[in-house]
């Protein structure tokens, strides 16, 4: 029996790029290799670049740019849902893997539902009542829930009344371009600290920058590369100027090939986030042989284990001291690089797909 799984459109209309949409693309790509499974991404209209650059969709409409800036987001949302519903009706899936937390059931289908929860940042930090409510409705619809870390599962069960028996923990994987980079090409390390992704709020970029600025050793020895996360805001530019760091910070963007090279050539990845569901850049860095210096929140220690040096992200002085101590020791950096490369082998999209397929199969066994 071939199991038919539809991945819905929601995240691909809301996210141009990012970890969540990357997860669904990587998962779908790995699942399509299984003979017993037929996967279709019912994307309707989408703006997502991960999906656009894959070979996972055909006959769907890609629109560049952020639609909400044009003032037509709700219109395109309805159009996308209609197209996705048409695809679902033609595909007739056994399972629909919902990619976002909709308050109402969008799909005219009796297929069982699977939901992946990445983190509970909005619920635990931002206390956004409307988003908490939406997630609650999506959880009630779901026949199975996947959490990407034990940390996220513990948070979920603490905040929501969810049957623990229907919650599984499945770690994310890492793209092959990062896994092979260490032994395909030896790149010379540069005196450069790498920061990857969003910077606002709990991502704790401001504490990291202030810690860096307080140390004459760090400012004399290193520059900082900020990869992704959008353009600097006016507040960020003012912060960098006030700290005297405008000539110390390099803003870059690019594809995975560029990012893999950035990991290879950086002295270390600095990851000061105060709350995460997983922290995919940690695995990418480990696979690339890039040492990690990170905050010590639960999800990040779960992922990186003994392959990172940790600090208290709420303390600027603690960040400063950790950076100075570890970056001034070639022995420490070499050890972190070696431990990280070993630990990265625990994470793969093939393993993620295998474990997800078991969740799908268990639902069919119960019907």
pLDDT tens track, the chain, 367 positions: 899 999 999 999 888 878 899 999 999 999 999 999 999 999 988 888 888 888 887 667 888 766 656 555 778 888 899 999 999 999 999 999 999 999 999 999 999 999 999 999 877 776 778 888 999 999 999 999 999 999 999 999 999 999 999 999 999 999 989 976 545 555 567 899 999 999 999 999 999 999 999 999 999 999 999 999 989 999 999 999 999 999 999 999 988 899 999 999 999 999 999 999 999 999 999 999 999 999 999 999 999 999 999 999 999 999 999 999 999 999 999 999 999 999 999 999 999 999 999 999 999 876 6
Residues 289, 147: one domain?
Answer: no
Cα(127)–Cα(89) distance, rounded to whole angstroms? 37
The pLDDT value recorded for residue 53 is: 84
**pTM for the structure as a whole:** 0.91
Q: Which runs of E-coded beta strand occur in 105-257?
A: 112-117, 144-147, 167-169, 192-196, 223-227, 249-252
Angle, vertex CA 67, rays to CA 65 and CA 72, nearest 5: 150
C-alpha radius of gyration, the chain, whole number: 21
How many domains, in total, are found in the chain?
Answer: 2
Residues 321, 355: one domain?
Answer: no
Residues 245, 342: one domain?
Answer: yes
Residues 233, 338: one domain?
Answer: yes
Residues 182, 224: one domain?
Answer: yes
Cα(40)–Cα(9) distance, rounded to whole angstroms? 11
Residues 215, 157: one domain?
Answer: no
Residues 282, 305: one domain?
Answer: yes
Query: Domain limits at 341?
Result: 176-346
CATH number at residue 90: 3.40.50.2000
Query: How confident is the prediction for the chain on average, in pLDDT?
Result: 91
Residues 161, 208: one domain?
Answer: no
Mind listing the pLDDT tens digit for each residue in 6-50? 999 999 988 887 889 999 999 999 999 999 999 999 998 888 888
Q: What is the DSSP letter of 258?
A: H
Residues 159, 189: one domain?
Answer: no
Residues 27, 157: one domain?
Answer: yes
């Amino acid at each position: 029996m071939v199991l038919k799984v539809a991945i819905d459109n929601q995240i691909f209309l809301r996210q141009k790029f990012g970890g969540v949409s990357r997860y669904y693309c990587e998962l779908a790509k790995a699942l399509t290799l299984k003979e017993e499974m037929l996967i279709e991404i019912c994307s309707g209209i989408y703006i997502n670049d991960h999906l656009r650059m894959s070979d996972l969709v055909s006959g769907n409409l890609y629109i560049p740019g952020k639609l909400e800036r044009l003032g037509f987001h709700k219109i395109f949302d309805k159009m996308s849902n209609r197209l996705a519903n048409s695809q679902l009706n033609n595909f007739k899936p056994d399972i629909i893997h919902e990619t976002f937390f909709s308050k109402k059931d969008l799909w005219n289908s009796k297929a069982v539902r699977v939901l992946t929860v990445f983190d509970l940042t909005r619920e635990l930090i931002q206390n956004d009542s409307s988003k908490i409510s939406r997630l609650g409705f999506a959880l009630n619809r779901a026949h199975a829930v996947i959490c990407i870390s034990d940390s996220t599962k513990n948070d979920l069960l603490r905040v929501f009344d969810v049957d623990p028996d229907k919650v599984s923990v499945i770690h994310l994987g890492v793209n092959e371009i990062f896994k092979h980079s260490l032994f395909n090409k030896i790149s010379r390390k540069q005196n450069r600290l790498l920061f990857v992704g969003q910077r606002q709020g709990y991502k704790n970029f401001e504490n990291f920058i202030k810690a860096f600025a307080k140390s004459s050793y760090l400012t004399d020895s290193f520059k900082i590369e900020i990869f992704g996360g959008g353009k600097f805001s006016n507040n960020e530019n003012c912060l960098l100027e006030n700290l005297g760091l405008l000539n110390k910070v390099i803003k870059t963007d690019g594809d995975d090939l560029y990012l893999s090279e950035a990991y290879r050539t950086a002295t270390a990845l600095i990851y000061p986030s105060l709350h995460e569901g997983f922290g995919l850049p940690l695995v990418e860095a480990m696979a690339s042989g890039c040492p990690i210096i990170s905050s010590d929140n639960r999800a990040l220690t779960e992922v990186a284990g003994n392959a990172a040096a940790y600090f208290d992200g709420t303390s600027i002085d603690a960040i400063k001291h950790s950076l100075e101590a570890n970056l001034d020791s070639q022995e420490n950096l070499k050890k972190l690089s070696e431990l990280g490369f070993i630990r990265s082998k625990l994470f793969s999209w093939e393993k993620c797909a295998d474990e997800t397929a078991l969740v799908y199969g268990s639902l069919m066994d119960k019907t």
